Amino acid sequence: MSRLGGCAVELSENQWIREMQQFLALTVVGIATYGCVYALTALGLVVTYKTSGIFNFAQGAMGMIGAFLYWQFQQSYNWPSWRRSSRRSGLDAMAGALVEWSLMRRLVNASLEAKITVTVGSCCSWSR
């Protein structure tokens, strides 16, 4: 006997095995998928911090811009996936270079508080 949603449900042994196999398969796929996303996000934070000495609080906002561009290219232009990805990647790289050249390079000799304030402020401005 198994409990689903607070109700006792009778499952045969074969049904229980199939449901457990499906549960375990979906759990592994979910951990692999979301684990890869979290690993890439953490890697981006570490690389940014190690190379510039600034913890970039705006990384999520920049990722959101890329996701929005990908969605916008599909909805407005109905482009194929490879074209959306290449354009989004190019625009993301240009936005990152613009932020680096316009904001971050001026903060080389600034205090840590100023660096953190700029990254939090840029995150807030991109999220609107």
* pLDDT tens readout for residues 83-108: 999 999 999 999 889 988 998 888 88
Largest CA distance in the chain: 69
For residue 81, give both structure tokens.
């996936």
Between the alpha carbon of residue 20 and those of residues 4, 10, 27, 68, 94, the distances in Å are 13, 15, 10, 37, 47
- The pLDDT, as a whole number, for residue 39 is 93
Tell me: pLDDT of 22 over 90.
yes
DSSP state of 75: I
Distance from C-alpha of 58 to C-alpha of 80, rounded to nearest angstrom: 29
55-70: pLDDT as tens digits: 888 888 888 888 999 9
pLDDT digits (tens, 9 = 90+) for 33-50: 999 989 999 999 999 899
pLDDT value at residue 93: 92
C-alpha span between 59 and 46 (Å, rounded): 11
For the chain, the domains span 1-52, 55-128
What's the distance, Cα to Cα, between the start and end of the chain in Å?
Answer: 51
Length of the chain: 128
If we measure between CA atoms, which residue out of 62, 38, 35 comes closest to residue 125?
Answer: 62
**Half-sphere exposure (Cβ direction) of 61: Cα atoms closer than 13 Å:** 16
